[in-house]
């Protein structure tokens, strides 16, 4: 842990939704939800206007629609998000060689290693300049936390949201942590929090008062020592440059063993959706889906399935995980379930929903007999997903606002517009309407 608050944590505010609002003037100041739009879709990001209604990431899109029916529900455009992320990460790299990206919109920076700050005043100036540069070059806001450790810097950036800066001065760490719930500590998930709650430990202050020996008794040596150190604010983890995960995974440990097969299947589907949200947040896709099952006797089984190509489609990952579950005997009970994706690749926009679209495409008819007449080809049905970019021969660039019943509604506007653009509706097979590349969003630095 550093003597001065020179560890910076940047977290862009509602990143995916904010990019869409910056690109689409008609959505500025309005609820926007980015994610899967189908009946089994999952929210990736919700704008702050949508969060007022209780919408949040990893929530089923169907539930989000019930809570906020007037929001704009858009499919992700990861190619655009990565371009903006690259610009933000380039600004961070100007501050220090030690930049540790956690996802497209989040990173740690060691300012002292870059020689730009060695005390609180200098670190604050650097952080304010960074926030101003991000807004100038992207039009977006980011929240920043400054502290002597990664854990406290991340907590500070969360407190700074949205569009703020919070500094944790040396010597104030214990005071800051004391009233927080134990779930705020890294490494404390639902199961650990429940174990601590049953022991009467609900806040970080109560955890520190209990002491390391009691935590080791409750949680085991390694985990107990870790939680004790985090509760005291003793986080010695360094900022590691060029962090590159080999896989993305999520798992849950259950307080009571699960026996019901339907409940187990439901939990696997939920974990698969959460895994995809994390995968997309990192701007990645993967080829191999991994299922982890820890049974009642603590034996742990893993099963994996390698797909034809990288995907970040929640339907594909969910169905693969469910297939893997079919090969696991769970009759004795399940203590832990996990779903992961490995074989990661950088995301490419063309991958988005590709496998889902292939699954939804009509099955081709068998080839006709050689002696018979060749049937006329069926017209190709185009899918107009809300939020994606289009261009019309007469009206120019725009984006899909909605589609159905053979019609597609387009709003013609771009990032540089001051007022919302006009809306037009076309036949879904209108030859003058074509998919298009996104218009430039970034500004010159």
Predicted local confidence at residue 291, as pLDDT: 96
Task: Please choose, from the candidates 72, 52, 36, the residue with its C-alpha nearest in 3D space to the C-alpha of residue 44.
Answer: 36
106 noted as active-site residue: yes
Cα–Cα distance between 337 and 254 in angstroms, integer?
8
Predicted local confidence at residue 352, as pLDDT: 40
pLDDT digits (tens, 9 = 90+) for 335-390: 999 999 988 876 443 344 433 333 333 334 444 444 445 444 444 456 899 999 99
Of residues 106, 112, 173, 267, which has the active-site annotation?
Answer: 106
Cα–Cα distance between 298 and 285 in angstroms, integer?
31
pLDDT digits (tens, 9 = 90+) for 247-294: 888 888 887 889 999 999 999 999 999 898 888 877 788 999 999 999
Say how many CA atoms lie within 13 Å of 245 toward its Cβ. Answer: 21
Predicted local confidence at residue 254, as pLDDT: 83
Place of tokens 């579950």: 325
Task: Please choose, from the candidates 412, 444, 410, 445, the residue with its C-alpha nearest in 3D space to the C-alpha of residue 427.
Answer: 410
For the beta carbon of residue 251, count every other beta carbon within 10 angstroms. Answer: 16
Predicted local confidence at residue 381, as pLDDT: 52
| CA angle centred on 222, ends 219 and 224, rounded to 5° | 40
Q: Is the pLDDT of residue 444 over 80?
A: no
Q: Is the pLDDT of residue 228 over 90?
A: yes
Give the DSSP per-residue string, 66-132.
Answer: HH-TTSEEE---HHHHHHHHHHHHHHHHTT-S-EEEEETTEEEEETTTTTS-SSHHHHHHHHHHHHH
pLDDT digits (tens, 9 = 90+) for 27-83: 999 999 999 887 778 898 999 999 999 999 888 899 999 999 999 999 999 889 989
């Amino acid at each position: 842990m550093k003597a001065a608050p020179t560890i910076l944590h940047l977290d862009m505010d509602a990143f995916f939704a904010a990019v869409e609002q910056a690109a689409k003037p008609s959505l500025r100041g309005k609820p926007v939800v980015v994610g899967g739009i189908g009946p089994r879709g999952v929210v990736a990001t919700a704008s702050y206007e949508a969060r007022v209604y209780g919408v949040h990431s990893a929530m089923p899109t169907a539930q989000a629609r019930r809570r906020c029916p007037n929001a704009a529900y858009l499919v992700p455009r990861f190619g655009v998000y990565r371009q903006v992320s690259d610009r933000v990460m380039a600004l961070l790299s100007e501050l220090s060689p030690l930049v540790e990206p956690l996802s497209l919109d989040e990173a740690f920076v060691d300012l002292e290693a870059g020689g730009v700050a060695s005390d609180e005043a200098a670190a604050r100036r650097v952080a304010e300049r960074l926030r101003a540069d991000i807004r100038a070059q992207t039009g977006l806001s980011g929240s920043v936390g400054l502290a002597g450790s990664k854990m406290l810097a991340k907590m500070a950036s969360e407190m700074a949201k949205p569009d703020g800066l919070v500094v944790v001065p040396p010597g104030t760490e214990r005071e800051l942590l004391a009233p927080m719930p134990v779930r705020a500590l890294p490494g404390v998930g639902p199961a650990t929090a429940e174990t601590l709650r049953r022991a009467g430990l609900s806040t970080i202050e109560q955890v520190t008062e209990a002491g390391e020996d009691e935590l080791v008794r409750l949680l085991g040596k390694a985990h107990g020592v870790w939680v004790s150190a985090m509760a005291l604010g003793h986080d010695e983890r360094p900022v590691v440059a060029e962090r590159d995960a080999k896989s993305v995974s999520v798992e849950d440990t259950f307080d009571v063993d699960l026996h019901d097969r339907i409940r187990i299947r439901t939990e696997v589907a939920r974990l698969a959706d959460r895994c995809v949200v994390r995968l997309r947040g990192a701007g990645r896709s993967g080829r191999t889906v991994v299922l982890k099952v820890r049974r009642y006797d603590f034996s742990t089984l893993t099963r994996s399935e390698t797909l034809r190509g990288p995907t970040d489609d929640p339907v594909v990952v969910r169905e693969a995980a469910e297939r893997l579950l079919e090969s696991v005997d769970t009759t004795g009970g399940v203590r832990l379930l996990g779903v992961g994706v490995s074989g990661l690749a950088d995301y490419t926009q063309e991958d988005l929903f590709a496998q889902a679209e292939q699954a939804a495409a009509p099955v081709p008819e068998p080839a006709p007999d050689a002696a018979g007449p060749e049937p006329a080809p069926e017209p190709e049905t185009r899918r107009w997903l809300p939020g994606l970019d289009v261009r019309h021969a007469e009206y120019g660039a725009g984006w899909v606002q909605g589609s159905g019943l053979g019609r597609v509604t387009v709003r013609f506007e771009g990032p540089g517009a001051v007022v919302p653009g006009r809306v037009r509706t076309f036949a879904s097979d209108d030859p003058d309407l074509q998919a298009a590349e996104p218009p430039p969003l970034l500004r010159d630095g």
